[in-house]
Amino acid sequence: MSSRSSSSRSSARLGRSIALHLFLTPLALIWLFPLWMMVIFSTMPDRGIFSPSIELLPHGSFLDNVNNLQRDTNFIGAIGISVSVAVTYTFLSVLLTSMAGWALARYQFFGKGVVVAIILGTITLPYAVVLIPQFIMVARDFKLANTWVALIVPPLFNSLGVLFMRQSFSMMPGDLFDAARVEGVKEWRIFLFVALPLARPMLAALAIILFLASWNNYLWPLLINSKPGAMTAPVALGTLIGLTKVSWGGIMAGAVMLTVPMLVVFVLLQRHFVAGIAAGAIK
């Protein structure tokens, strides 16, 4: 009797799994179709992109588009700048947001509630509200325009990252840290060698989010950097849109070069990303 019940439950689970896949597969194809068309357009010449016929298979102009893109923008150099900026920004931002989250989660101090309220309030502000004052302060007052410091430092504070790490550290058992303090372990060693290893899944998820945010950032690098040799990759792509001519093939080829590596990284790190988001969302 029990074997028959177990078999029926297994059949029910199999049926639900098949139904779920039948429902999600068309949605996945709808989401992937624009990406596939971007790949198709990157292999076509400019005149072929606006052809009235619908093309679903790659052509042979991808290398020509890449060569034109490199000639017009030095795109390989721009990708190198984007990688350097994104890696540096991600490391520093993860470190700072983790330190802030640790302080808000584990220490009691005067005005703590006000600090948390201010951080929550900054999330509600549109980026356009702070963009111009930030540009004036960095470019005019600090005279840091066209520098890597201006690209990396102003966006370092991430409100969502601070709150995410605060939640992550709040979930950890306080007795573990108290035991370390009783043993005479210094606070900075507790943070680095006890708290951060426990928060590794959350740190991985936060690092992926921050890296992608820096990698795709367009508006701030466009404003703060005016030198052609210091452009990030998204800004370099934007220069292909002129008043009289738009290099659509080069834009599509550059978009593929920027998108495909990020998709590969996300697929490889998807397990850590999902685990970190789930761990940070459950208390």
Given this model, what pLDDT does residue 15 score? 80
CA distance 176 to 157: 28
Given this model, what pLDDT does residue 279 score? 58
Is the Cα torsion angle 120, 121, 122, 123 positive or negative in sign? positive
* Domain extent at residue 30: 6-61
Domain-located, residue 280: no
Same domain, 14 and 121: no
Among the listed residues 224, 247, 242, 212, the one whose alpha carbon sits nearest the alpha carbon of residue 75: 247
Given this model, what pLDDT does residue 4 score? 60
Same domain, 139 and 20: no
pLDDT digits (tens, 9 = 90+) for 171-211: 888 888 888 888 888 888 999 998 998 888 888 888 888 99
Same domain, 95 and 17: no
Same domain, 185 and 106: yes
Same domain, 194 and 103: yes
Given this model, what pLDDT does residue 6 score? 63
Same domain, 50 and 113: no
CATH of the domain at 217: 1.10.3720.10
Same domain, 235 and 179: yes
Q: What are 245-251's contacts with CB under 8 Å, separation 24+? A: 247/46, 247/68, 247/69, 247/72, 248/41, 248/46, 248/49, 248/50, 249/41, 249/42, 249/44, 249/45, 249/46, 249/49, 249/61, 249/64, 249/65, 249/68, 250/65, 250/66, 250/68, 250/69, 250/72, 250/73
Given this model, what pLDDT does residue 100 score? 93
Same domain, 11 and 120: no
Domain-located, residue 274: no
Same domain, 16 and 145: no
Same domain, 86 and 206: yes
| Helix, coil or strand: residue 155 | coil
Assess whether pLDDT exceeds 70 at residue 140: yes
In the predicted model, what is the mean pLDDT of the chain?
85
Domain-located, residue 250: no
Among the listed residues 104, 105, 82, 102, the one whose alpha carbon sits nearest the alpha carbon of residue 94: 102
Domain-located, residue 273: no
pLDDT digits (tens, 9 = 90+) for 78-132: 999 999 999 999 999 999 999 999 999 988 888 888 999 999 888 888 888 888 9
What's the structural domain count of the chain? Answer: 2
Domain-located, residue 253: no
